[in-house]
Structure 1
């Protein structure tokens, strides 16, 4: 896990699964006057696949103002590009077909560089409070983030399937994606932001202080 100190110079934003929707992200950032010199962006992972500009979205992982976590689609890409034909077939079935039109060596180099900046979890301090970030499902206690099931962090859906409103202990809020919803929801202190941009055209971008205020209102 990577911890981020407060951002005294600007704002922090969280965004749901991009899935190649680079243009939608740029439009959303422009709408909030995002300043790359001051503001920070924290994507929930699944930067790639299904949408039209996956390579550009993968490149965001290298931008100095962008701090994403790894999603299951980045993991599928890793297993495909550095694994075997079966892994490649699985990735293609799940939206990785765009990679077949790319130079494999070049794409593998970009992915390797991106993965080095895509941890499984991040923690961001905002106004003396902490927000956790994972792709799919956090542990019941944030203190276990370094030793919990890695598969659950990028693939898990148990909490949302149960509609579990039990807050994650040891942290004020957690932001996740992975499960497509009609609109963002909050269960306990877990905020679900994946609104299926590649299929619905709806990309959810939320400022950190707004997210914390939403969480306060649901208590």
Structure 2
């Protein structure tokens, strides 16, 4: 459910928005920041697949030692299609790329990738704690515990906070970074930072340092 990371004392930690199959765009962003694959770490808010041109390639990312992603609703849609036969929602929401691939290969790769993609991350950065979930955190970070199906759905699907423009702080955490909702520019609501800028339609993939997240939330 929740994976914690100690401070990165050797390199820089970054977080990136929904990649949605835009593998080449991600590589360009990493080159722009001179990402060091040996010492830097890249955290993602989920939705690695669908809609963009290279979903299968993006599904390889969780196997890289420098890359870490929470699970998004598109990974769960793919799971429900490939494992449970619920194809309708996935195909309607960008899963048609699977028709050009070997479904068994995709199933096996997704199955293994999901074992490396929990619902939430917590990373220590400059003495602060930054959380990452796909869509929306609970009002209190301590509520993220295993076995709560309603909470799992909330973490990957909810848009309640952004629809209400809710600026209340999430308790028990210094800042939270999320994706899921496409915006023209990243937005802060309380201590929650929304960074999905619609890479597959706009060509803009937001990638920022976690230390900057900590500094921005303190302003």
Determine if the TM-score, normalized by the shorter chain, exceeds 0.5: yes
Match of 2:127 in 1: 128
Match of 1:186 in 2: 188
- Provide the C-alpha distance between the structure 1 equivalents of 2:32 and 2:94, rounded to a whole number of angstroms: 28
| C-alpha RMSD of the superposition | 0.8
- Provide the C-alpha distance between the structure 2 equivalents of 1:22 and 1:146, rounded to a whole number of angstroms: 32
- Provide the C-alpha distance between the structure 2 equivalents of 1:120 and 1:151, rounded to a whole number of angstroms: 10
- Provide the C-alpha distance between the structure 2 equivalents of 1:208 and 1:7, rounded to a whole number of angstroms: 11
Match of 2:19 in 1: 18
Instruction: State how 1:7-86 maps to structure 2 within 5 Å.
Output: 7-84=8-85
Instruction: State how 1:68-217 maps to structure 2 within 5 Å.
Output: 68-84=69-85, 87-146=86-145, 149-217=151-219
Q: CA deviation at 1:89?
A: 2.2
In structure 2, the residue corresponding to 1:82 is in which secondary structure? helix
- Provide the C-alpha distance between the structure 2 equivalents of 1:166 and 1:205, rounded to a whole number of angstroms: 25
Structure 1 runs (4+) greater than 2 angstroms displaced: none
- Provide the C-alpha distance between the structure 1 equivalents of 2:202 and 2:32, rounded to a whole number of angstroms: 19
- Provide the C-alpha distance between the structure 2 equivalents of 1:21 and 1:215, rounded to a whole number of angstroms: 28
In the alignment, structure 1 segments of 5+ residues that lack a partner are none
TM-score normalized by the length of structure 2: 0.97
Aligned length: 215
- Provide the C-alpha distance between the structure 1 equivalents of 2:78 and 2:43, rounded to a whole number of angstroms: 20
Q: CA deviation at 1:128?
A: 1.1
In structure 1, the residue corresponding to 2:130 is in which secondary structure? strand
